[in-house]
Structure 1
Amino acid sequence: MDTRITSETALITPSAGILRARHGWRAKCLQRLIRMDLPVPRSFALPCETVSAIAAGRPLPVEDLRKVFDGGSGLVSVRPSAVMPEWGGPGTVLNVGINDALHAELSARMGAANADAIYLAFVQSYAINIARLDPDMFHHEGDGALSRALAAFEAEMDEPFPQDPARQLAEVLRSMARAWDGPTARLLRQAKGAPADAPLGLVIQEMALGLGPGLCGSGTIQFADPVTGTPRVTGRFRGQSHGTAVGAGAETLYLTRDERGPSLEDVSPETFADLIRFGIAARERLREEMLIEFVVTDGQVSVIDATRLARTSRAGVRIAVSLARDGVIPPEEALMRVEPRALADLLHHQVDPRAPRDLITRGINASPGAATGRIVLTAAAAQAANARGEPCILVRRETVPEDIRGMHASVAVLTERGGTTSHAAVIARGLGLPCIVGANGIRIDLRNRTLIAGGRELREGDEITIDGSSGEVLAGAAALLPPALDDNFTQLLAWADEAGGIGVRANADTPEDALVARRFEAQGIGLCRTEHMFFDGERLPAMREMIFADSPDDRRLALARILPMQREDFTRLFEIMAGLPVTIRLFDPPLHEFLPHDREGLRELAESMDMPLSDVTRRVDALSEFNPMLGMRGVRLGITMPEIYDMQARAIFEATVDASRKGDPVVPEIMIPLVSAMREVELVKTRIDAVASAVRNERRTEFTYKLGVMVETPRAALRAGDIAAHSAFLSFGTNDLTQMTYGLSRDDAGRFMGTYVSQGVYSEDPFHVLDQDGVGELLLTGAQRARRQSPHITISVCGEHGGNPESIAFCHDAGFDYVSCSPFRVPIARLAAAQSAIRGRLTGDFD
């Protein structure tokens, strides 16, 4: 920028050498464009502190402002320059400096119609945005519009329209500075992630008018598709002919040759070549895909601005990888440029951002992706629709374990209740299904088979689209983009693995989950929830028979039927993981989850069990608890009914022998859930060791295994030193640990969590982002005490926080060995782990 323009008061400063933090992103970008010798009009940058002083009432030095108009066209624009482009700012003001004298000069140079249009546009903008007059007074068009606008201004302000360009500029600067400092602007930028006191710089730039003889006009050009990221020149050019009024009679040209009409490439190949050259230079020197705003005056191009190309997540990945492959940026920088959560958009179908949306209602975006299907209101209806080959969306008040089969048969899930770690959310993420929970604006009427949502009545069988990425429920079939698991995705994650960082495993309950985990290159299974294997229609009767057994011997008989099923599942898991670690959590949920509670379900159960309905009802009532998630579940069930864990241990060890004979050696990791005391571990360990000895003798084969604990209770975290004496590993189950630490139900917290976060009670939903101050302190305390007792013990996190980037960074910094998350969140975790390692190296905190 012009270094001759200086000011003793530092109101206007040249931008050569300025820092973005002081002058904002636009000034920094223009500075770089000038250093690249691109044809940028003379520009000046006001630093953020000056803009703040103007907003506070600091007087403006008119003589310095007058220097801005020396030479050139006599017109300038004023544009905002916040520190981050996404923070926005006041609207750009054009044509500052136009007055009666300049209007006469422009009329002679480019015609009265063009000069009138420039003057009128500024009068209207100044009156409405700067003087804050009623917009309805300045909607003048046609002949004499300029005279009427000037007269309206004078009548309202009791003075003529200001003729001094310096005064005009001073008022524009003051208005923009105050607008940025206003309460509405503060709220808007806070919604975009900016601090309330974020600074603003302003850029004053001489205007290139794009009017006159020869080829004239203005436009934008970009060099990559903003949706897909593929290299493609697109944009627009609105040309002007000499003597044609601005905005009237203008011709819009395509940029590249196009059979639909004339293009800039055809009309002026030299101008088009200049734009391509500028775009290549900007990409290489600014190290980014840019959108360039330009003006053409008599065939000469002026670069007015260059901004980072707005892009979707999939485009962002492709662009970052392309820049790294071309040597513009190093791979580590490409990794840091991609938001880990953005990878979720590549794993699933997404609603095309270019397509129209018929919004019905919103909820919590619990599992990403998009799907279209017909509404079904029960798991049975979902299975029936799936059998007919009809895509369906399961809509429930909230899901329960019995709905898992229906979820498997659906393409998406929608629930009225729930939060980010509710049953529906956790299972949907594991299955890779789009899911929206906590959609309080819906009401399900099972009797009439209808769904009331957003004031509309939808019937079972109506088609809707679930956008699990945004939390929006759409009517009908929206246009979808396919997943983008291409070589760019693969390359980015390969670089992530090379960068190192904390290990990443998957939570996988079935062979299908394990296959997904291998596909996304998880380093093993960090949590296999064995209870999910029992909800299959063929296995549920055997499970219920075991629950209804009256004695340990009867239970063992029922468990004998389940044993081969468990052994088969574990064998398949071991074979799929091919020697990678597999952590199997012993049976955890309360038994009542496997039993029906409505009259129809109880009657069916009585019939299948060949028992009187009254006996079945009494048995179900006897198993009911006031708070089952804090009752007879986890290790408590394993100690009071030890034959359950005996059966599971035998199935694991027999599967270990079978799988090891076929392929890679298997060292199973057995995890005890819901531990609170060291004695619980001792009791379970004794029995599991006995089962292991029995299987070794029966199979005449040696094998090893690891026994560990799932730390889900605050007491287990506090007594981790004692527990570690009997454990090879500790894995923090942060879902239940958060629930117990806060005293919150993760299934019900969604009702008020939004209010709590908006009012600052919690900075984030603690079930979504790990509470580092509270729950995090329990993790750090537990890990420290465990390692003091057993320095080589493995420490991990296997709750849903294991797929959250901020939580992964916490675990990395704490020195944990790995995190485990849903299979479809493994890529997100791999990238987040790499970013944590890179940040650690940059700050010197990571060796």
Structure 2
Amino acid sequence: MKFSSAAATTVGLLLSGHAPMIFSFVTPPSRFASGHQASGSERSIISHSTESSSSLTSHNTNDSRSISSKMQFPLFMTATYSEAGKKKTSTISTTGSNSMVSEQEDSKHGIVPFGGSAAHVKTPDKQILGGKGLGLQEMSYVGIDVPPGFTLTTPLCQVFQENGDLPEEMWRQVEAAIQRVEQDMDRKFGDPSYPLLFSCRSGAAISMPGMMDTVLNVGLNKETVEGLAKATGNKRFAYDSFRRLLDMFGDVVLGIPHESFEDKLKGLKAKVGVQDDIDLTAEHLKELCDLYEKVYDEHGKEFPHNPMDQLKACIKAVFGSWNSGRAIKYREVQGITSLLGTACNIQTMVFGNLGPTSGTGVAFSRDPGTGKAVLNGEYLVNAQGEDVVAGIRTPEPISTMEKGFPKAYEQFIRNVHTLEQHFKDMQDVEFTVENERLWMLQCRSGKRTGQAALKIACDLVDEGICTPEEALLKVEPDHVKQVLHPTFSAEALESAVYKENVVAVGLAGGPGAAVGKVVFSTETAEEMTKEGVILVRETTSPEDVGGMWASRGIVTCRGGVTSHAAVVARGWGKPCVVGCDDIDVDMKTKTMTIKETGEEFKEGDVISINGSTGEIVRVAIETTVPALEGEFGKLLGWADEVPDVCRVMANADSGADAQKARDLGAQGIGLCRTEHMFFSPSRLPVVRRWILRDEGLEQVQEFQREDFREIMHVMDGKPVTIRLLDPPLHEFLPHSSEINEKLSKQLGYDDSQALASDIEAMHEENPMLGLRGCRLGIVREGLTAMQTEAIIHAAADLIEKNNDAKPYPRIMVPLIGSVAEFKNQALLIKRTAERVKKERGIDVPYEIGTMIEVPRAALVSDQIAGVTDPEDGKRLCEFFSYGTNDLTQMTLGISRDDAGAFLQVYKDLGIMEEDPFKSIDTEGVGFLLHLSAAKGRMVNPELSLSICGEHGGDAASIKFFDKVGLDYVSCSPFRVPVARLAAGQASVKRRKDEIEPMSRKDRVVKTSPMA
């Protein structure tokens, strides 16, 4: 999470005991607003920081020990300055003793040519060129035919967003780029005899299928369309291209609803008695162009007949579409926040609608649904680019292209193989065949399901295309989540209930299973999302993205497996059935009708869909979570084997949770919350009696001993971190409405009034900051000793029963805020543990550590890490575990339970980019965490560091924790697989960038010393 701020440089003074530690630090690059000009004072401070902070030296001016330790902090500096009239941005990152300085000229007039005579860009940058621009550069580089053109880079999108237009100098560069293409193609843009035409496409660095707008055939008008007809000898093709331009330009550039043009098309087809667009003649299409121009008049708009005016308007529309509602929605649901904007690609038009020897298509080098190494895709004869992905016609399988276009197909297979070898990943490509000549229009890493992602990654390694570490980076954390999504069990699929209720079959657009209520609009899907819905449409468009995200599954009656619905659904891991010709969808009456039987499904009716087979079932079918095996285990094994990886443990409070965690690959228990064991109906009365009457502590110990024994048995040989009692005691007490005579007698009271009086006496105004955590252990005599005895006895029981048992408890003190608190509890734990070990005659290995969740504890971490036992001089604290839930609450002053009242508003206004309880606030909470880690390891280099809050399962947070140098993260059992992948990826990326962990080079995750 980041706050929007204009803060630039801060000089910090932290107190460590009585001796001041003085150092300078600056805020990360994001703190400098775009275009901010550093003042003289800022420059002087930055200069000082550059010289002094590549390693942070603490000087204790009063201590004869003269501590001088290099503390490695994640310091970042950004300065903006002028040089020879050019604005430059310099970013300095200091991590440890390594200083990295980079400069990049801020070019506002970035136009990069591709194809034809264009020189290849030596180091193409996806962030600048966008995904499409990068793909076009790389295809040209490996010798694949690409229609020439040029890319307007993403910084220009920023310029457009800020100014609402582009500089005149940029337009002059566009004209110069056009002249190069004209020379390559031997045609002129706007030439009435044989015009050069362009497509105008968006292309951000991250693929956003269907979210941004495209305009084809730019340069046609009433004059040039006649020239195109004569030059090609194909009047029908020329007017088909012109009517497409009129439609796209009106929709994308001028905001005329596409339906207005579609209505004219439907009306003309009805008038002349044809069903398909392809059956319209040249004269029909010429008439349609006239009708489309009337649509402009009806909406008070004017179509520009000057080709350059068309191109300028299209470029502006592409850049403007970056902030369209649907694009913003897509970025929101995908969590995309780091992009500069979209690039704009101007490319020579090649035509798939010239006739039966031309066509267009989309394909994947491997099956995006299953991951199998078979070419998967579709194409249309006599069609133009957007027809396939828009789902206007249901296309033909790519395999049939071999018969119609044998030479082009052979070349296509070679191209796809070349691209997969070059990019080392499954490719999603778009192509056009113009009079039997193949042109490649686009390539990118294809979106895929979780199941496919795992198989593709493993297969690429098996085929020698990439290494295991490279393969890890091709799988997203969401892919792992998808593999855990529900499917129909084999038994359900074979049952009569399933087979007899399949009412329709379409194309398998996205695997998995879903059960939900039928809805027909995005608005209804969003309103009813909590009830579980399946969105049913004729075909989806980018405007439906919100409803698709809100739905459990999607059904369309038109479109193929590369249509918008299928591509987006697969990317999100949602089951999807597309191109289902067995159904009719009536959006006005909100009904789905089975053609063969006439059976109707209305809004709210429950159906099931099988995205793996394309089947629609009229009843609810029970779903199940698939077994985790094969590629799943193989890939996560690679993640665990990455050198210096941050390990993953689990939060578990029962033997069942611990077993699930171990099954999913957890390397221990990072948090066992002892209080969760108190809430069972049989135990709660005993706990309440101890709280209120100070009776029954021995019985509570037996409960704890039994639970600890079970968890340590399941996790044999692996560490089990047990947090002593943390929540305020009132959480275990009855509410006033529950108090009655029977309960009073049960708890040892003469009457209910006495019970109510004692409960009221324990009331706290702010229990989160009240009597809880270590304060309970200090104030409530016997509590800490009781819990310690239960832990050590439980471990001793296991060893006594089985000499090969290897329990390894780690006892964690919660809510420490001062050194004295920790010393008080740690000594009590150690004395009690050693006594029990002596009584039992069994050597139980154990560790003592603390949670760092109070900001003050983070600031005095060096003192806490340095606490020793006065009797033997040994350190008492062997580990820190960061409780990031409470650390976030206390640092930001935000209650996690009440944040919902304003967090979304803050995100909408840009005050916060992320929910700080979901992804770690790296600038505030993260800084404290890193400061604590550095100070703790300054005193004890072997100090084990971990986190156990909700952030332990968040991929973005894990990346930060990896850089800090934490030994492990801990999360809920079901998040363990995602965390394992994220940890492996973070280590691969860090090592690739040659960045050392900030606090320590070598990670150590201990297993039982007895192992």
Under TM normalisation by the shorter chain, which class is it?
A: 0.7 to 0.9
Whether contact under 8 Å (1:290, 1:307) holds in the other structure is: yes
**Which residue among 356, 367, 371 is the counterpart of 1:229?**
371
**Which residue among 654, 659, 668 is the counterpart of 1:524?**
668
Q: In structure 1, what is the equivalent of residue 207 of structure 2?
A: 86
**Which residue among 717, 737, 741 is the counterpart of 1:599?**
737
Question: What is the CA-CA distance between 1:67 and the residue it aligns to?
Answer: 4.2
Whether contact under 8 Å (2:113, 2:149) holds in the other structure is: no
CA distance in 2: counterparts of 1:152 and 1:31, whole angstroms: 36
**Which residue among 750, 754, 764 is the counterpart of 2:904?**
754
CA distance in 1: counterparts of 2:528 and 2:935, whole angstroms: 37
Determine if the alignment matches structure 1 residue 55 to structure 2 residue 171. no
What's the CA shift string for 1:275-310, capped at 9, x where partnerless?
A: 444333322223222233233345444333334322
Q: Which amino acid aligns with 1:116?
A: Y
CA distance in 1: counterparts of 2:935 and 2:152, whole angstroms: 55
Whether contact under 8 Å (1:227, 1:315) holds in the other structure is: yes
Alignment map for 1:773-784 (pairs within 5 Å): 773-784=923-934
Q: In structure 2, what is the equivalent of residue 506 of structure 1?
A: 650
Question: What is the CA-CA distance between 1:547 and the residue it aligns to?
Answer: 2.0
Q: Which amino acid aligns with 2:415?
A: F
Q: In structure 2, what is the equivalent of residue 329 of structure 1?
A: 466
Whether contact under 8 Å (1:313, 1:345) holds in the other structure is: yes
- When residues 309 and 783 of structure 1 are mapped into structure 2, their CA distance, relative to the original with a 3 A threshold, is closer
Question: What is the CA-CA distance between 1:491 and the residue it aligns to?
Answer: 1.8
**Which residue among 390, 406, 424 is the counterpart of 1:287?**
424
**Which residue among 17, 31, 35 is the counterpart of 2:120?**
17
- When residues 788 and 345 of structure 1 are mapped into structure 2, their CA distance, relative to the original with a 3 A threshold, is same
Determine if the alignment matches structure 1 residue 770 to structure 2 residue 909. no
Question: What is the CA-CA distance between 1:690 and the residue it aligns to?
Answer: 3.6
**Which residue among 757, 771, 779 is the counterpart of 1:632?**
771
Question: What is the CA-CA distance between 1:530 and the residue it aligns to?
Answer: 0.8
Determine if the alignment matches structure 1 residue 707 to structure 2 residue 810. no
- When residues 478 and 736 of structure 1 are mapped into structure 2, their CA distance, relative to the original with a 3 A threshold, is farther
What's the CA shift string for 1:334-389, capped at 9, x where partnerless?
A: 22233335423323438968978648787999xxxx9979xxxxxxxxxxxxxxxx
Q: In structure 2, what is the equivalent of residue 566 of structure 1?
A: 704
Whether contact under 8 Å (2:469, 2:642) holds in the other structure is: yes
What's the CA shift string for 1:706-751, capped at 9, x where partnerless?
A: 2212222122222323322132222221211221222222111122
- When residues 110 and 778 of structure 1 are mapped into structure 2, their CA distance, relative to the original with a 3 A threshold, is same
- When residues 480 and 173 of structure 1 are mapped into structure 2, their CA distance, relative to the original with a 3 A threshold, is farther
Determine if the alignment matches structure 1 residue 585 to structure 2 residue 726. no
Q: In structure 2, what is the equivalent of residue 306 of structure 1?
A: 443
Whether contact under 8 Å (1:26, 1:203) holds in the other structure is: no
Question: What is the CA-CA distance between 1:174 and the residue it aligns to?
Answer: 0.9
CA distance in 1: counterparts of 2:301 and 2:524, whole angstroms: 52
Question: What is the CA-CA distance between 1:604 and the residue it aligns to?
Answer: 5.8
Structure 2: gaps of 5 or more residues: 1-109, 189-193, 269-282, 488-509, 534-551, 553-604, 609-618, 868-875, 1002-1011
- When residues 535 and 360 of structure 1 are mapped into structure 2, their CA distance, relative to the original with a 3 A threshold, is farther
Whether contact under 8 Å (2:149, 2:345) holds in the other structure is: no
* DSSP-derived class of the 1:773 partner: coil
CA distance in 1: counterparts of 2:337 and 2:843, whole angstroms: 60
What's the CA shift string for 1:411-463, capped at 9, x where partnerless?
A: x9xxxxxxxxxxxxxxxxxxxxxxxxxxxxxxxxxxxxxxxxxxxxxxxxx99
CA distance in 2: counterparts of 1:287 and 1:691, whole angstroms: 58
CA distance in 1: counterparts of 2:228 and 2:321, whole angstroms: 41
* DSSP-derived class of the 1:584 partner: strand
What's the CA shift string for 1:587-634, capped at 9, x where partnerless?
A: 111222112215246566336446433233223222222122222222
Whether contact under 8 Å (2:640, 2:647) holds in the other structure is: no
* DSSP-derived class of the 1:642 partner: coil
Question: What is the CA-CA distance between 1:199 and the residue it aligns to?
Answer: 5.7
Q: Which amino acid aligns with 2:879?
A: F
CA distance in 2: counterparts of 1:804 and 1:610, whole angstroms: 46
TM-score, normalised via structure 2 length: 0.63
Whether contact under 8 Å (2:319, 2:344) holds in the other structure is: no
CA distance in 2: counterparts of 1:124 and 1:341, whole angstroms: 37
Q: Which amino acid aligns with 2:687?
A: M
CA distance in 1: counterparts of 2:928 and 2:231, whole angstroms: 78
Determine if the alignment matches structure 1 residue 721 to structure 2 residue 832. no
CA distance in 2: counterparts of 1:246 and 1:845, whole angstroms: 44
CA distance in 1: counterparts of 2:292 and 2:702, whole angstroms: 89
CA distance in 1: counterparts of 2:689 and 2:720, whole angstroms: 29
CA distance in 2: counterparts of 1:565 and 1:542, whole angstroms: 10
Question: What is the CA-CA distance between 1:581 and the residue it aligns to?
Answer: 1.3
Q: Which amino acid aligns with 2:120?
A: G
* DSSP-derived class of the 2:807 partner: coil
Q: In structure 2, what is the equivalent of residue 817 of structure 1?
A: 967
Alignment map for 1:486-497 (pairs within 5 Å): 486-497=629-640
Q: In structure 1, what is the equivalent of residue 351 of structure 2?
A: 208
Q: In structure 1, what is the equivalent of residue 690 of structure 2?
A: 546
* DSSP-derived class of the 1:738 partner: helix
Q: In structure 1, what is the equivalent of residue 286 of structure 2?
A: 146
Structure 1: gaps of 5 or more residues: 1-8, 258-262, 374-411, 413-461, 466-475
CA distance in 2: counterparts of 1:679 and 1:134, whole angstroms: 70
Does 35-44 or 150-159 show the bigger shift?
150-159
What's the CA shift string for 1:197-237, capped at 9, x where partnerless?
A: 5362423224134434x543322222434344344543333
Does 529-538 or 215-224 show the bigger shift?
215-224
Whether contact under 8 Å (1:239, 1:252) holds in the other structure is: no
CA distance in 2: counterparts of 1:561 and 1:31, whole angstroms: 73
Alignment map for 1:155-304 (pairs within 5 Å): 167-168=306-307, 170-182=308-320, 185=323, 192=331, 193=336, 198=341, 200-212=343-355, 215-240=357-382, 254-255=396-397, 263-265=400-402, 272-304=409-441
CA distance in 1: counterparts of 2:465 and 2:368, whole angstroms: 19
* DSSP-derived class of the 1:505 partner: strand
Q: In structure 2, what is the equivalent of residue 650 of structure 1?
A: 789
* DSSP-derived class of the 2:970 partner: strand
CA distance in 2: counterparts of 1:267 and 1:649, whole angstroms: 78
TM-score, normalised via structure 1 length: 0.74
Whether contact under 8 Å (1:25, 1:82) holds in the other structure is: yes
Whether contact under 8 Å (1:525, 1:583) holds in the other structure is: yes
Q: In structure 1, what is the equivalent of residue 105 of structure 2?
A: none
- When residues 327 and 98 of structure 1 are mapped into structure 2, their CA distance, relative to the original with a 3 A threshold, is farther
Q: In structure 2, what is the equivalent of residue 3 of structure 1?
A: none
- When residues 843 and 287 of structure 1 are mapped into structure 2, their CA distance, relative to the original with a 3 A threshold, is closer
Question: What is the CA-CA distance between 1:576 and the residue it aligns to?
Answer: 1.3
Question: What is the CA-CA distance between 1:640 and the residue it aligns to?
Answer: 1.9
Question: What is the CA-CA distance between 1:107 and the residue it aligns to?
Answer: 6.2
- When residues 36 and 680 of structure 1 are mapped into structure 2, their CA distance, relative to the original with a 3 A threshold, is closer
Q: Which amino acid aligns with 1:84?
A: A
What's the CA shift string for 1:173-193, capped at 9, x where partnerless?
A: 311232244486377666633
CA RMSD of aligned residues (A): 4.3
CA distance in 2: counterparts of 1:732 and 1:158, whole angstroms: 62
* Aligned length, in residue pairs: 719
- When residues 625 and 297 of structure 1 are mapped into structure 2, their CA distance, relative to the original with a 3 A threshold, is same
- When residues 788 and 96 of structure 1 are mapped into structure 2, their CA distance, relative to the original with a 3 A threshold, is same
CA distance in 1: counterparts of 2:971 and 2:304, whole angstroms: 64
Question: What is the CA-CA distance between 1:826 and the residue it aligns to?
Answer: 2.1
Q: In structure 2, what is the equivalent of residue 33 of structure 1?
A: 139
Structure 1 vs Structure 2: percent identity of aligned residues?
31
- When residues 639 and 138 of structure 1 are mapped into structure 2, their CA distance, relative to the original with a 3 A threshold, is closer
Does 585-594 or 299-308 show the bigger shift?
299-308
Determine if the alignment matches structure 1 residue 678 to structure 2 residue 815. no
